[in-house]
């Protein structure tokens, strides 16, 4: 399922050079983006970067200052919120406390022009979809937080919107329930085929649920891609740093041709060799080499089969159960973090503080970034 790669696929949502200003403050800056039918699309970014503003423009609560938003090929500038095939899921505390689960789900349908005879069938369908059949008669305070969340979801899907907007939908749940609910959301999204756009500042959540993630910074989208590509091939230091743990090693590039580079990192004339790099970077350019901790192997002896091996000293070891992290200082003072699973043949007991070790990685293990 990768409609964004198909040049013939028509996006459900199209933002064309959309700018939104509040007074002289630019909340969204020249945004162009396509979102496809059946996508689970995540907007990810720090507080204030403009995620909610994008949602509110889709819902019709804000209009763009400049640019065009299309839904299903039609400019929606003049379509009021209630006439858009769009719904917004609110957190579970927006449920009506005095109404049963059933009536909460039926609420919007009763106010629509759906015939009474059809409403019951639709509510039953939503109860099945969200596995709430047994709780239909209960009031919201008589079910768990996770179940309330499912009622909120059932209510927002009852009118079968083409697009469902979810603004931090799981923010009120604790970590374990949140993770379970993420999988439920994915199942329900797939079953209904509804396009979901979710706002979150939790990068793990975005990576788990989304088909594609847009990483935002100050009203701009820095990168839009699949979770794996965002993680493995970030296009900037900002994205690399925002998603997961990363080492950002500063140096100077020497272009060896064919996507290969040698990066002088000023560590006692040691350099990092990089291959399979997409960017074209001139020799002498200051660059950042970004590599994830788990791509780095820590050994006592220099390994022979890897392109890069840097010697250093263990400063700190963090034991996290399934894995351990090693903070290693290079001779020039740069710190590098490596992570290894504790089930690997090199056990956590193999190293201790002050050990001289080798950090090694393949030539294609990291990315070279210029911005
Ligand atoms: P958070 O994660 O904190 O919800 P966000 O990424 O959703 O943040 P937005 O709510 O979209 O951010 O806000 C983006 C910027 O626009 C913020 O700096 C905010 O103060 C500003 N902003 C939003 N709405 C208005 C408004 N009605 N008037 C003035 N400024 C606004």
**Ligand 1 centroid – CA 38 distance (Å):** 27
For residue 13, what is the domain's CATH number? Answer: 3.40.50.300
Same domain, 224 and 257: no
Same domain, 211 and 330: no
Out of 43, 50, 63, 216, mutate this one to test ligand 1's pocket (max ligand atoms within 8 Å of CB): namely: 50
Number of Cα atoms under 13 Å in the Cβ half of residue 259: 8
For 66-206, where are the E strands, in sequence order? 66-71, 74-75, 86-89, 163-167, 195-200
Residue 299 structural domain:
245-369
Same domain, 212 and 250: no
Top-confidence residue, 90 or 364? 364
pLDDT of residue 333: 85
Average pLDDT over residues 207-225: 95
CA 101 remoteness from chain centre: 31
pLDDT of residue 64: 96
**Cα–Cα separations (whole angstroms), residue 320 to 2, 231, 329:** 35, 21, 20
Of the candidates 214, 209, 195, the residue with the CA atom closest to the CA atom of residue 10:
195
**Cα–Cα separations (whole angstroms), residue 24 to 20, 27, 66, 201:** 10, 9, 14, 25
Of the candidates 276, 278, 262, 264, the residue with the CA atom closest to the CA atom of residue 332:
264
Q: What is the C-alpha to C-alpha distance for residues 208 and 205, in angstroms, rounded to an integer? A: 5
pLDDT tens-digit readout, 5-64: 888 888 999 999 999 999 999 999 999 999 999 999 999 999 999 999 999 999 999 999
Nearest CA to ligand 1 atom 20: 48
Q: What is the C-alpha to C-alpha distance for residues 14 and 286, in angstroms, rounded to an integer? A: 36
Same domain, 203 and 313: no
Helices first, then strands: H and E counts in the chain: 8, 20
> 365: which residues sit within 8 A by CB, 6+ positions away?
291, 292, 295, 296, 308
pLDDT tens-digit readout, 330-359: 888 889 999 998 876 655 457 888 899 999
pLDDT tens-digit readout, 253-280: 999 988 899 999 876 657 888 888 888 8
Same domain, 230 and 263: no
pLDDT of residue 236: 95
The residue among 177, 209, 238 that closes a domain is: 238
Same domain, 197 and 322: no
For residue 337, what is the domain's CATH number? Answer: 2.40.50.100
Same domain, 294 and 346: yes
Nearest CA to ligand 1 atom 2: 47
Q: What is the C-alpha to C-alpha distance for residues 165 and 150, in angstroms, rounded to an integer? A: 15
Average pLDDT over residues 208-234: 95
Nearest CA to ligand 1 atom 3: 47
pTM of the entire structure? Answer: 0.89
Q: Are strands 40-44 and 212-217 parallel, antiparallel or unpaired?
A: parallel
The residue among 187, 216, 238 that closes a domain is: 238
Same domain, 252 and 218: no
Number of domains within the chain: 2
Same domain, 215 and 158: yes
Average pLDDT over residues 213-223: 96
Q: What is the C-alpha to C-alpha distance for residues 316 and 337, in angstroms, rounded to an integer? A: 9
pLDDT of residue 345: 60
DSSP 263: E
Average pLDDT over residues 307-323: 90
Residue with token string 């740093």: 241
pLDDT tens-digit readout, 59-101: 999 999 999 999 999 999 889 998 999 999 876 568 899 999 9
Q: Which residues line ligand 1 (CB under 6 A)?
A: 22, 25, 27, 45, 47-53, 201
Same domain, 297 and 221: no
ipTM: 0.91
Same domain, 122 and 199: yes
Same domain, 231 and 255: no
Q: What is the C-alpha to C-alpha distance for residues 59 and 66, in angstroms, rounded to an integer? A: 17
The residue among 238, 272, 301 that closes a domain is: 238
**Ligand 1 centroid – CA 44 distance (Å):** 14
């Amino acid at each position: 399922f990768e409609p964004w790669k198909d040049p013939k696929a028509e996006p459900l949502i199209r933002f064309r050079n959309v700018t939104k200003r509040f007074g002289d403050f630019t909340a969204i800056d020249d945004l162009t983006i396509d979102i496809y039918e059946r996508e689970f699309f995540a907007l990810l970014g720090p507080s204030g970067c403009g995620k909610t503003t994008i949602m509110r423009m889709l819902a019709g609560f804000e209009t763009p200052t400049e640019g065009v938003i299309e839904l299903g090929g039609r400019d929606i500038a003049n379509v009021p919120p209630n006439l858009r095939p769009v719904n917004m899921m609110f957190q579970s505390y927006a449920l009506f406390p005095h109404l049963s689960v059933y009536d909460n789900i039926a609420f919007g349908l009763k106010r629509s022009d759906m015939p009474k005879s059809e409403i019951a069938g639709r509510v039953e369908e939503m109860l099945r979809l969200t596995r709430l059949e047994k709780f239909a008669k209960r009031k919201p305070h008589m079910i768990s937080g996770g179940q309330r969340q499912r009622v909120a979801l059932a209510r927002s899907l009852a009118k079968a919107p083409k697009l469902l907007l979810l603004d931090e939908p799981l923010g009120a749940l604790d970590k374990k329930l949140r993770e379970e609910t993420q999988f439920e959301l994915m199942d329900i999204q797939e079953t209904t085929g509804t396009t979901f756009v979710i706002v979150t500042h939790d990068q793990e959540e975005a990576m788990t649920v989304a088909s594609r993630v847009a990483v935002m910074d100050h009203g701009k989208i820095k990168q839009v891609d699949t979770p794996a590509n965002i993680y493995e091939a970030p296009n900037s230091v900002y994205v690399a740093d925002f998603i997961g743990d990363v080492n950002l090693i500063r140096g100077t590039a020497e272009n060896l041709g064919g996507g290969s580079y040698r990066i002088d990192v000023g560590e006692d004339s040691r350099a990092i060799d990089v291959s399979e790099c997409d960017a074209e970077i001139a020799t002498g350019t200051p660059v950042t080499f970004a590599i994830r901790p788990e791509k780095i192997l820590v050994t006592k002896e220099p390994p022979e089969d890897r392109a890069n091996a840097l010697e250093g000293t263990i400063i700190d070891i963090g034991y996290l159960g399934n894995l351990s992290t090693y903070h290693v200082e290079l001779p020039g003072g740069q710190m590098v973090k490596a992570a290894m699973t504790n089930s690997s043949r090199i056990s956590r007991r193999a190293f201790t503080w002050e050990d001289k070790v080798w950090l090694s990685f393949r030539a294609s293990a990291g990315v070279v970034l210029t911005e």
